[in-house]
Amino acid sequence: MELTGTEIIVECLKLEKVRVIFGIPGAAIMPLYDTFGKYEELPFKNVLSRHEQGAIHAADGYARATGEVGVCVVTSGPGATNLVTGLANAHMDSVPLVAITGQVPTAMVGNDAFQEVDITGITLPITKHNYIARKVEDLPLIMKEAFYIARTGRPGPVLIDLPKDVQLSKSNFNYPEKLNKRGYNPSYKGNLKQIKSAAIKIMNARKPIIIAGGGVINSKSSMELLKIVDKTNIPVVNTFMGLSSFPKNHPLFLGMLGMYGQYAANQSVSNADLIIALGTRFDDRITGNLNQFCRLTEIIHIDIDPAEIGKNIFAKIPIVGDLKYILQQLNNYLEEKKEDAWLTEINNIVEKDPSRKIENGSLLSSRFILESLNNFFAGEAIIVTDVGQHQMWAAHYAQVNFPRHFISSGGLGAMGFGFPAAIGAKIGCPEKQVICIAGDGGFQMNIQELATAIHNRLPIIVLLMNNGYLGMVRQLQELFCDKRYVSTLLAGNPDFVKVVESYGGIGYRVDKREEFMPILQEAHCKNEFVLIDCHIPQEENIFPLVKPDASINQMIGVD
Amino acid sequence: MKHTVAILVEDLPGVMARVASLFTRRGFNIDSIAVGHSETPGVSRMTIIVNGDEQVLEQIMKQLNKLIDVIRVRDIPSDSIIERELVLVRVHVESLTVRSEIIQLVEIFKAKVVYVERNALTIEMSGDEEKINGLLNLLKPFGIREIVRTGMIAINKNSKNGLKP
C-alpha cells in the first residue's frame, strides 16, 4: 500500500520507538501535523512547545535524561532558524537528536519563497549530518540513517529538511533493516595492543588520576569505571560534562576539573604523573592555559572520536573506540594497586579545598540552597541547570548519585537551556523528581515554556536563583573590569511568583534561610509545577576560579 | 609544509559545501581543490592541497573522515606522488619575433599552442607544480593576459596505495 510522506514519517518514528516529539506547527509542516491528527492513537506523545528553541532544548533534555534520541518537529524559515542554538548545543555536548523541519515545496526552493531558508546550509557546521528529502521514495532511508547516525559513534544532532510536496507525495513504504554506510563506520573495539600498554602504564604509575568526561555517560560505562577505581584506587575527577558519571560521594572522587573547577580536582590533576582521560575532549575550560597544562604528565586518551585525540593535547597512548568495551578489556589487564603516598598527598590537597569546608553564614546563599536540596532528595533527583553562576554552584554542590542525573549545557553554555530541558527530562522520566535550577537571567530566555510545563501538568520544581543580575558576567566585571557593571543589572525583572500564577502554576518566594526547607517540603508535596523564587545575595561570587589564560593550578579564592 | 590529500566522497549534492565549510570553520588553508568523477559510479574524487604541519594534516584528515559523505581520506607523500595540473594561459604577442620566441618556449616545455590571434597566443600545458611555474615565469615578461588553472590532481605511484571506496 502506498503511504504519503507524512505517514511514512509517522511509521518511521514508530519503528524507531520514539515516545515523544516536541514542536510547533507552521505552514510548511502542516501536512505532517495534519497526519498526526488523523491517527486515532498517535504512537507517540506530541508536545506543543511555545518557542522552537524550547522544543529543541526539551528534546535535548529528554535525550540526556533517557539516553534515547530526542525528536523535534518545526516549520520552515523562522521555525527552522529557531533551532540553531539548540542544534549547536546538542552538537557541542554530543546529544542524539533528530530535528525535522518543514520546507517550501521543492519547486520553490531557491526562489526566496515565503518562510524559505537554507537550513541545511545554515546548520552544516552544527549538525553531525543533515538531509534534504527531495523525493518521497528517499524518506525511509533518510529516516533510518538519521536515527542511526544520531545515536551511534559519537552521538549528535541530525536535521532532516522536508519540503511540503514531499510530505504530500505517495510511495511504497519499506523500512530498511540494515544500513551500509560506507562513509560512516565508527570503530568500537579499541586496539588491544594499546589497551595492554595502557594497563602497564597504569600499573607503573605512582600518581595516576582519571579524568572522566561525558563519554562515560554516553557509553554507559559508569559501572566499568567504578570497578576499575575500586580495584586500583585511582582518584577520579569529572569534567563538567562528565558530572554524574561517577558517584559524587565516592571517597576517591575529587570534584570537577577546570576553570570553574574545584581546588582538589585541579591540584591533583596538576600533580599527577599519569592522566587516564575517558571520553573527554580537553576543552579549554578544562585545560586552562594549554601550554601549561600538565606538561610533564603522560596521558592515556580514550575516546570514540579519533579527531578528539591529539586535537588539543598530545596523548602518549591513544585508544579509539567504545569506552565501555575498552574499560572492560582494560580491567582484565589491571591488578589491584594502591599508591599510598599519592593518596596521602591528595588527602592533604583535599583538606584545603574550600568546597569541603562547612559554610558558616546566615544568608540564603546558593550553596545553602543546594545543600538543603541534597538533604531533601539525597542525590535521587535529576538536576537540570541553566547556565551561569548557579550552574557552577550546582556542579560543585548538588549531590548526584546516578548517571544522567545532572543535565546542563556544557560546551555551548546556552542560557535558556535549563528550563525547557527540565521539561524534556520530566517527560522522559516521569517517575523521577526533576529539579530545574536556573538564574533569573537565563530563566527569562525561555520563560514562555511555563505554558508547556503547566499545561502538561509536569510536577517540576524550579529553583530560581534570583540575584537580579546576570551574575556570572557581573562577577567577571567585579573581578576584571573594576566593578563596571555594564548591562548586567536586570532592572525590570517581573514578580516571578505572579508570572507563574498567571500561567496557572504555583509560586513561592523565599528570602531567608529558615524559610527555604519548609517551602521545599510544601512544594514537593504539591506534586504540581512549582517555582520557588529564591532571593539570593545580589553579589555572591563563585570561587575558586582560574583566570583566563592562567594555568589550572593557579586558582583565585583559595586560602 | 604542503600536503596533498586525496578524498573519495559520495557523489551527492552539497558534498563540496560540506568539505569547504569544514576547512573554513576549522581555519585550515586550502591551496587548491579539484573534483571529478572517480572510477566508481556514485563516487567523486577530490584532491586538496593544504598547508600546515603534521599535526594540522592529521586534524584535517580526521575531521574530513568524520563527514558522513566522505568515504576515504589519504595523504599522498611527496616521494610517491604523481601530480598534474592543467593550465590555459593567454599571452600577449607584441611582434612576430616575440611570437616565435614564445612558441619556442612552448615546445621546450612540451606545452601546446591551442589558439592563435594577431596579438595573443593561448597555450595549454599540463604538468607538476615545478614545470607549470617554470613556464609561467618565462611567459610573464611577454605579458600574461589570463590564466585558468584546474587545481592539482594527484595519484600515488604505487598501485598498492591506491584509493578504493
Span B16-59, pLDDT tens digits: 999 999 998 888 889 999 999 999 999 999 999 999 999 999 99
Tell me the average pLDDT across A539-554: 92
Tell me the average pLDDT across B137-144: 97
Reported as half-sphere exposure (CB side, CA atoms, 13 A), residue A206 has a value of: 6
Residue of A149, A183, A305 with shortest CB distance to B10: A183
Nearest CA in chain A to B65: A183
Grid cell at residue A540: 555572591
Which of left, alpha, beta for A161 (phi over 0: left; psi -120 to 50: alpha)?
beta
- Decide if A149 and B68 are in contact by the 8 Å CB cutoff: yes
Interchain CB contact of A121 with B (< 8 Å): yes
Cis amide bond preceding A235, omega within 30: no
DSSP state of B46: E
* Statement: residue A371 has pLDDT above 90: yes
pLDDT at B164: 87
Tell me the average pLDDT across B3-25: 94
Per-residue pLDDT reduced to its tens digit, A225-251:
999 999 999 999 999 999 999 999 999
Which residue pairs from B27-34 have beta carbons closer than 8 angstroms and sit at least 24 positions apart in sequence? B28/B52, B28/B56, B28/B59, B28/B60, B31/B2, B32/B85, B32/B149, B32/B151, B32/B152, B33/B151, B34/B150, B34/B151, B34/B152, B34/B153
- With CA atoms as reference, report the closest residue to A496 among A439, A457, A426, A453: A439
CB atoms within 10 A of CB A434: 27
A295 to chain B, closest Cα gap in Å: 18
Q: Which helix (H) or strand (E) holds B7?
A: strand B2-10
Cα B84 vs. chain centroid, distance in angstroms?
6
Burial class (CB in 10 A: 0-12, 13-18, 19+), A347: exposed
* Statement: residue A1 has pLDDT above 90: no
The percent of residues above 70 in pLDDT, for chain A, comes to 100
Nearest CA in chain B to A156: B66
Nearest CA in chain A to B13: A132
State how far the Cα of B31 lies from the Cα of A538, in Å rounded to an integer: 54
Q: Are A501 and A507 in contact (CB under 8 A)?
A: yes
> Which sequence positions of A are flagged as catalytic?
52, 114-115, 164, 472
pLDDT at A444: 98
Per-residue pLDDT reduced to its tens digit, A32-43:
999 999 999 999
Amino acid at A542: I
Interchain CB contact of A44 with B (< 8 Å): no
CATH superfamily for domain A2-172: Thiamin diphosphate (ThDP)-binding fold, Pyr/PP domains (3.40.50.970)
ipTM: 0.92
Tell me the average pLDDT across A441-451: 98
* Statement: residue A398 has pLDDT above 90: yes
Interchain CB contact of A110 with B (< 8 Å): no
Residue of A128, A182, A307 with shortest CB distance to B63: A307
* Statement: residue B5 has pLDDT above 90: yes
- Decide if A310 and B68 are in contact by the 8 Å CB cutoff: no
Positive/negative CA dihedral, A146, A151, A154, A156: positive
Domain residues of chain B, as ranges? 2-76, 82-153
Grid cell at residue B158: 604505487
A211 to chain B, closest Cα gap in Å: 23
Question: Measured between beta carbons, which residues in chain A are less than 8 angstroms from residue B9?
Answer: 183
**Can you tell me which residue has the cell 590537597?**
A349
Domain residues of chain A, as ranges? 2-172, 192-355, 364-536
* Statement: residue A420 has pLDDT above 80: yes
State how far the Cα of A275 lies from the Cα of A253, in Å rounded to an integer: 15
Tell me the average pLDDT across A81-91: 98
- With CA atoms as reference, report the closest residue to A399 among A249, A210, A197, A187: A249
Residue of A181, A184, A310 with shortest CB distance to B58: A310
* Statement: residue A131 has pLDDT above 80: yes
pLDDT at B88: 98
Residue of B13, B59, B165 with shortest CB distance to A307: B59
CATH class of A364-536: alpha beta
pLDDT at A557: 87
* Statement: residue B152 has pLDDT above 90: yes
* Statement: residue A166 has pLDDT above 90: yes
Q: Which residues are paired to B89 by β-bridges?
A: B123, B147
- Decide if A307 and B14 are in contact by the 8 Å CB cutoff: no
Question: Measured between beta carbons, which residues in chain A are less than 8 angstroms from residue B65?
Answer: 306-307
- Helix, coil or strand: residue A224: helix
Q: Which helix (H) or strand (E) holds A383?
A: strand A382-385
Q: Are A166 and A160 in contact (CB under 8 A)?
A: no
pLDDT at A167: 98
* Statement: residue A502 has pLDDT above 90: yes
State how far the Cα of A194 lies from the Cα of A309, in Å rounded to an integer: 14
Per-residue pLDDT reduced to its tens digit, A289-347:
999 998 889 999 999 999 999 999 999 999 999 999 999 999 999 999 999 999 999 99
* Statement: residue A559 has pLDDT above 80: no
Residue of B59, B62, B69 with shortest CB distance to A183: B69
A with B: how many residue pairs have Cβ under 8 Å apart?
Answer: 36
Tell me the average pLDDT across A428-438: 98
State how far the Cα of B128 lies from the Cα of A453, in Å rounded to an integer: 65
Burial class (CB in 10 A: 0-12, 13-18, 19+), A461: buried
Distance (Å) of CA A526 to CA A418, A421, A506, B15: 22, 22, 9, 54
* Longest Cα separation, chain B: 57
Give me the CATH code for the A192-355 domain, please: 3.40.50.1220
B12 to chain A, closest Cα gap in Å: 11
Distance (Å) of CA B75 to CA A527, B64, B155: 61, 12, 10
Q: Are A507 and A498 in contact (CB under 8 A)?
A: yes
B58 to chain A, closest Cα gap in Å: 8
State how far the Cα of A471 lies from the Cα of A441, in Å rounded to an integer: 8
- Decide if A121 and B9 are in contact by the 8 Å CB cutoff: no
pLDDT at A439: 98
- With CA atoms as reference, report the closest residue to A466 among A388, A553, A376, A411: A388
The percent of residues above 90 in pLDDT, for chain A, comes to 97
Interchain CB contact of A67 with B (< 8 Å): no
pLDDT at A520: 98
Question: Measured between beta carbons, which residues in chain A are less than 8 angstroms from residue B70?
Answer: 183
- Decide if A306 and B65 are in contact by the 8 Å CB cutoff: yes
CATH superfamily for domain B2-76: ACT domain (3.30.70.260)
Distance (Å) of CA A196 to CA A199, A319, A324, A457, B81: 5, 11, 16, 53, 37
Give me the CATH code for the B82-153 domain, please: 3.30.70.1150
Per-residue pLDDT reduced to its tens digit, A104-126:
999 999 999 999 999 999 999 99
